[in-house]
A and B are shown apart, each in its own frame.
Chain A
C-alpha cells in the first residue's frame, strides 16, 4: 500500500539550530501534504498545508517564518524549524492523501521527535 516516509525519526540539537524534516511519498504522487504537531498526550494540531509548486497555507497562530515549508516535487515536502528553541520541542508528523479528493484517507509518516536543548 501507499507509504509515507518521514526522516529523521529523532533529532536532538542545541537551541538556535535550524532543523529540517523530510516527508516523502514513496509510491504515489502527493500534490498536497500536511504537517502536524503533537504535544505529549495531546491530539494532532494541523500546522500547515504544503502545496506542490506554490506557497504553503498556514493555520492561524502558526509562524510561517519559524516553520518553513517547501514542496518542491510531487513526492517531497520539507519542514524546517528555524532557530529552534526548547518550546519548539515536540512530535512532528506529516501526512499525504493518496488522491486529490477529501474522501481519501491520509497516509502518515512515523513522525519526528524533536528535542531542543
Chain B
C-alpha cells in the first residue's frame, strides 16, 4: 500500500521568505501525488498534482513541487510567502483505485 511522510510538523517562516515543505512517499506501484491546503474549519483545496510527465509541477497561489523518483520525494516550494499562506498543508498519494492517503500535515506559519 502507498503512504506518505511529511517530515516537518511545523514550519515557521517570515513573510516574503522562500519555503519548502517536505514530503516523501512509498509505493510499490505507480502513484499519483498531490498537495492540498486546509484553512481552519474548512475542507481541503487542491494546490497541485503530479500524474506523469514533467517532474516540476506548478500549482495555484505560486506554489510548485518537484517529483523526484530516485529520492521518492515530492517537496512543495514557494519562492516568497505571504501572511495568507498560513495554513495546514497535506501531501497525499493515490493509487489506481482512488483511495487517497494523507501525510500527517505541516503547519506553515508566516510571520510579518
B4 to chain A, nearest CB (A): 10
Closest 3 CB pairs of A and B: A108-B43, A102-B96, A108-B44
Which of the four size classes fits the interface of chain A? 20 to 34
Which stretch from B61-69, B72-80, B97-105 is at the chain A interface?
Answer: B97-105
- Size band of the interface chain B makes with A: 20 to 34
Of A34, A49, A105, the residue contacting B46 (CB under 8 A) is A105
Q: Contact: A6 with B43, CB < 8 Å?
A: yes
Contact residues in B for A4 (Cβ distance below 8 Å): 43
A97 to B41, CA, bound (A): 21
CB of A42 within 8 Å of the partner chain: yes
In the complex, besides A41-B105, A49-B99, A103-B51, 12 extra interface pairs with C-beta distance below 8 angstroms are A4-B43, A34-B98, A43-B90, A43-B105, A93-B43, A93-B44, A95-B44, A95-B100, A103-B52, A104-B98, A106-B34, A111-B41
